[in-house]
Amino acid sequence: MTRGTIRRDAKAKINLFLRVLSMREDGYHEIESLAVPISLADRIVVRPAEELRVEVAGAPAFPSGGLNLALVAALALADECPDAGGALVEIEKRIPVAGGLGGGSADAAATLLALNELWGCDVDAAALGEIGERIGSDVPAMLSGEAVLMTGRGERLAPAEIPPLHWVLVRFGFGVRSPDAYRWWDEDGTGTGPDPDHLLSAATAGDAEALGPLLFNDLETPVAARHPEVGEAKRRLLQAGALGAVMSGSGSSVIGLARDEAHARTLSAGFEGAEPVVGSPPDTA
């Protein structure tokens, strides 16, 4: 049975740590990371239509030469759903493209969830996760809508209870492709970061003071070597009083940890293109 118009938020994510462990035989990298949804989100609206199509307003939907993952997701679900029909998927972009915030994966996840409801497919969460894994490594995490510990190439998930924390998000006018960031890590031999147990304990306790100095990202050094703006933003955040700062995902965005909402607003005022965001925001849907 076809429903009416469905609206969903496609929340961005930040990585509080990202460990690169090794190159896999399939060409991906074995990683470990804590991904946390934030209040910054694209807006997704799906409604019945004669054909299946995706329209995007705002920032570009994907980097030059990349795929529109929302369209890939729609087509993948249609293949699995006998009741699939046409649909118009409208995306209002707010998440920076190639910013290490999972914007394309968030759009894909929200599209899967919305079309599953619109078309009445009744595809369960496990099956949606399998579809998401085929679309992109971050899609299963975005489908969960919660903070998760990611392993494998990102598709193996364990829930993580992370209380809301306040952050400053610094974005740039350029993006970083994930394959490039991982290739640079390979080329530079940067190595693997520390055991994240203390970081995880601080994050789950919501202890921002303890968490700040523990943030790390193995991809940050090779990316900052090619894009000095990343390292400069991190230095400026720390000098301005952020409790910690780190590049998110494969870049280019940098996040700074604040004590509270007021502190986040003060920190963001000193950076062009910066904004305060909340990690693990309450679900307002």
Q: What three-state secondary structure class fits 103?
A: helix
Residue 150 to residues 29, 43, 63, 84, 243, Cα–Cα distance (Å): 12, 25, 24, 31, 24
Burial class (CB in 10 A: 0-12, 13-18, 19+), 1: exposed
**Contact present, 32 and 150 (Cβ < 8 Å):** yes
**Contact present, 113 and 105 (Cβ < 8 Å):** no
Q: Which of 13, 42, 107, 218 is catalytic?
A: 13
Q: Which amino acid is at 111?
A: T
184 token code pair: 């640079």
Q: Which of 9, 42, 138, 218 is catalytic?
A: 138
Active site residue 138: yes
Active site residue 93: no
| Omega before residue 252 within 30° of 0, cis | yes
Question: First and final CA of the chain: distance in angstroms?
Answer: 23
The Cα 211–Cα 138 span in angstroms is 23
Q: Which amino acid is at 24?
A: R
Which residues are the active-site residues? 13, 138
